[in-house]
Structure 1
Amino acid sequence: MNFFNKHSFFYTLCFLIIFNFILDQNPHNSIYISDNFPKLNYQNLLIGIFILAIFSFNSYLKVAGRKGWGQYVRREGLKTHLKKTGTPTAAGWIFFVMSIVPLCILLPNFLMNKNILWVPLLAITVMFLTGLMDDLYKIKGTKEGLLARYRLLAQFLVGSLLGYYFLPWDLYTNIAVGFLLFGTAVNGINFTDGSDGLLAAVILATPIGLLILYAISQTMGIGFPIVSSKFVFVLLGLLMLSWIPFNKYPAKLFMGETGSYTIGAIVGFVAIYSLQSEPIITFLLLSVPIFQIATVVIQVFFYKKFGIRVFLMAPFHHHLEKKGWSENKIAYSAFFFQLLLTVSLIGSVTY
């Protein structure tokens, strides 16, 4: 793959901007791991992950294409998407590998109770395996993949576990809210991954928005709010930057449920963890997933109840495609929407 095309400058600029943001945010420039382990320069860690992810996606593209690990596209879906049939899929395992190691190192630096580090790591691993099983079924010819009840069961168990450990209320409330938030994140992220470059655009917009606010606060000489999960935002942003060259329209590679479930699990964990101390982060993370799920629920309800379709197709980005929007236009629009949302929400509690 040739990375030195007309988009390379934009990708590199975005990377340098995010990298500079995390550099300026921590003057100590290192992460404590243990007394018997030297302090780790986290900029080197993240830049290494970024570069390794690019080469991993490129290598997997060649292997998956040669092995015929292609995407199955439903005939009842968008006709314009039928040409995507056979596109190499299940690249999401790279997101898991490239995120689980840095998260093992980064999470203890903002978890109040470091003894429960295993909880989010287990949550991400379970959802990765769930997505991987779904993709493997599809690659082997089972059109529907892993049965929906098993996927929902995994989401319930993981969401309940996260709610139990990270929410402050009684047991049943913690389980209910944990499942609701986690299920929203996983399924909403999965829906958002239904158009080339769309999920990457939405995820990338948040660290870019945080950078803009940080630059403004530095210029104005005022304090910038501490976002405890900023390292996770930066990690996801860098992974999305490494992913864009492969998934921008026309996509050469799909992450599959393996990727969307992994990313959804990370987003779901941060949303649950932030609910009590930084609820605005929870809303920011789940705004697009909630909207995507809402359009599907509205579509199904009105069609079953009244026999009418509110949207040409759900979720909403498919409605826009039916209206004639290109996948690039949808991705750029989603990016600027999430960017504006980030700047306005975080900015409202800053200035």
Structure 2
Amino acid sequence: MFFCLFDIFHNINFYLFTFFSYRIRIFASFFTSFLISLFLGFYLINLLNKFNIYQIIRINGPKTHYLKNKTPTMGGIVIIISIFLSVLFWSYSYNHYIKYIFIILFSYGLIGLIDDYFKLINKNSNGISVKYKYFFQSIIAFILSFLIYYRCKNVIFSKFIFSYFKFSEIQLDIFYIILFYFVITGTSNAVNLTDGLDGLVVIPIILVFCGFLLISYFYSDIYISSYFNIPYLCNARELVIFCSSVIGSCLGFLWFNFYPAKIFMGDVGSLALGGSLSVTSILLHQEFLLFIMGGLFVLETLSVILQVFVFRFFGKKIFLMAPIHHHFELKGYFEPNIVIRFWIISLIFVLFGLFIFGIH
């Protein structure tokens, strides 16, 4: 249904490209998604409060979270709508990269929405089973991986290149699809795990997308790409618009999500953002850089893996609770202090990733 709007906006896009420069479209997409996110945020919070649609708190979670049981959830709907409308209005809607991004944004958002819905009707924090949730994520990831690989089949998508290190290149060919799969499912679930405190995941998402905005801008400019000795990707031009829209939308959502949060993102937002972040890195051929710039997501995921592994085989806990942000909560740290320090860590990872990209 959403993709039918491509035809409606096609002629509008043509005139926008005629009268507005590329840089103006970048800033316009940011402010459009920001304003839509603010407007829809106010409306959705009132609507969810009216129908008593509140976050279901985990029974085995930190006790302080019980105070949040009257906070509306599923705020990720605001993020998805504001990104979609902004990108649809300011980007070239027939760009294949934008279509791939929209596929993952809506499909993973739908999985998250169903999961949030089941939590509400079942009155517990389990939602749909992990098995079914991961199954549907995997199906979508494989389908999209096939689409990207065969539609963009060239030297860029046949080799995994550690372009940051000399003489490091792995020929993958069709096995690249397996890499795509793990990047998509891993990133979406890592972002989902990180979304555990008020405003915690929003700024890291913004920072990483800021990094990819710069990289996609470099890739889409023939002169800059030649200077950095990186492939020129004309389609990456519209990824700049997408990244700008995500940044604006998330900033608008942060207005309501920072401590004390007036609304939570829910799985509908975290899965959609994580999925779109992973596909952005794939389209730019920067999967390894995503691992660096998204280092905070990696740390959060590793804390869960280590906790489960050590407890299962040795019967002991490394952390008081996983993911690791809950460990610091139980240690007595004030929630905003944890969040801001994690933001700083995320900023360091992003700057380090951009530094590596710049010196390769």
TM-score after normalising by structure 1: 0.78
1:301 aligns with 2:309: yes
How far the C-alpha of 1:243 sits from its partner, in A, is 1.3
Partners of 1:238 and 1:253 in 2: how far apart?
A: 17
Aligned twin of 1:67: 51
Within the candidate set 201, 204, 209, 2:203 is matched to 201
Counterpart of 2:129 in structure 1: which amino acid?
L
SS at match of 2:15: coil
Query: Which residue, 116, 119, 128 being the options, matches 1:138?
Result: 119
Aligned to 2:15: 38
- Alpha carbons of structure 1 residues 166 and 286: separation in structure 2 relative to 1, 3 Å: farther
Q: Is the 8 A contact 2:101 2:280 kept in 1?
A: no
1:332 is matched with which residue? 340
Structure 2 residue aligned with 1:180, among 171, 182, 204?
Answer: 182
Larger deviation, residues 115-124 vs 304-313: 115-124
SS of equivalent residue, structure 2 residue 201: helix
Matched, 1:237 2:247: yes
- Supply the AA of the counterpart residue of 2:103: L
2:296 to 265, 277, 288: 288
Question: Shift in Å at residue 238 of structure 1?
Answer: 1.4
Shifted more, 90-99 versus 160-169: the winner is 160-169
Identity, % of aligned positions: 24
1:317–1:161: structure 2 CA closer, same or farther, 3 Å change rule? Answer: same
Q: TM-score, normalised by structure 2?
A: 0.76
Q: CA RMSD in A?
A: 3.0
Give, as a single letter, the amino acid of the residue that structure 2 aligns with 1:133.
I
SS in 1 for 2:127: coil
Give the Cα separation in 1 of the matches to 2:197 and 2:85.
28
Residue 33 of structure 1: how far off its partner (Å): 5.9
| AA partner of residue 82 (structure 2) | M
Q: Distance in 1 between matches of 2:112 and 2:316?
A: 32
Residues 149 and 341 of structure 1: CA distance in aligned 2, closer, same or farther (over 3 Å): same
Equivalent pair of 1:159/1:181 in contact (CA under 8 Å): no
Matched, 1:163 2:141: no
The alpha-carbon distance between structure 1 residues 300 and 67, as it changes in their structure 2 partners (threshold 3 A), is: same
In the alignment, residue 201 of structure 1 is paired with which amino acid? I
Give the equivalent residue in structure 1 for 2:61: 77
DSSP-derived class of the 1:154 partner: helix
SS of equivalent to 1:198? coil
In structure 1, the partner of 2:219 is none
Cα distance in 2 between the residues matched to 1:36 and 1:272: 26
Q: Do the aligned residues in 2 keep the contact of 1:158 with 1:179 (CA within 8 Å)?
A: no
Deviation of 1:164 after TM superposition, in Å, equals 2.1
Structure 1 contact 247–253 (Cα < 8 Å) conserved: yes
Alpha-carbon distance, 1:100 to partner: 2.1
Q: Closer, same or farther in 2 for the Cα pair 1:271/1:333, shift >3 Å?
A: same
Confirm or deny: 8 A CA contact 1:274 1:281 kept in the other structure.
no
Q: Which residue of 1 aligns with 2:3?
A: none
With 283-292 and 100-109 compared, the bigger mean Cα shift is at 100-109
Q: Which amino acid aligns with 1:149?
A: K
Letter in 2 for 1:240: C
In structure 2, what is the Cα distance between the partners aligned to 1:158 and 1:105? 26
Cα pair 2:29 2:90 within 8 Å, conserved: no
3-state SS in 2 of match to 1:324: coil
Deviations 1:49-94 (A, max 9, x none): 2112101101111111111001100111111111111311111111
**Following TM superposition, by how much is the alpha carbon of 1:187 offset from its aligned partner in structure 2, in angstroms?**
0.7
Q: Structure 1: 5+ residue runs without aligned partners?
A: 1-31, 214-221
Greater mean deviation of Cα atoms: 58-67 or 174-183: 174-183
Aligned residue identity for 1:63: L
The structural deviation recorded for 1:141 is 2.7
How far residue 212 of structure 1 moved from its aligned partner, in angstroms, is: 11
Matches of 2:258 and 2:288, distance apart in 1: 29
Q: CA deviation at 1:119?
A: 3.1
Report the AA paired with residue 179 of structure 1: Y
How many residues are aligned here? Answer: 307
Q: CA deviation at 1:105?
A: 5.8
Q: Cα 1:281–1:328, aligned 2, differ >3 Å: closer, same or farther? A: same
d(CA) in 2 for partners of 1:182 and 1:328?
29
> Structure 1 residues 280 and 234 mapped into 2: Cα distance closer, same or farther (>3 Å)?
farther
Asked whether 1:152 is paired with 2:138, we answer no
Change (3 A) 1:280 1:104: farther
Which digits, 9 at most, give the CA deviation of each residue in 1:255-298, with x for residues without a partner?
A: 111111111121121122233xx345422453222221111011
* Cα separation, 2, equivalents of 1:69 and 1:248: 19
Question: How far, CA to CA, are the matches of 2:98 and 2:261 in structure 1?
Answer: 35
- 1:184–1:286 contact (8 Å) kept in structure 2: no
Match of 2:83 in 1: 99
Paired AA for residue 251 in structure 2 = L
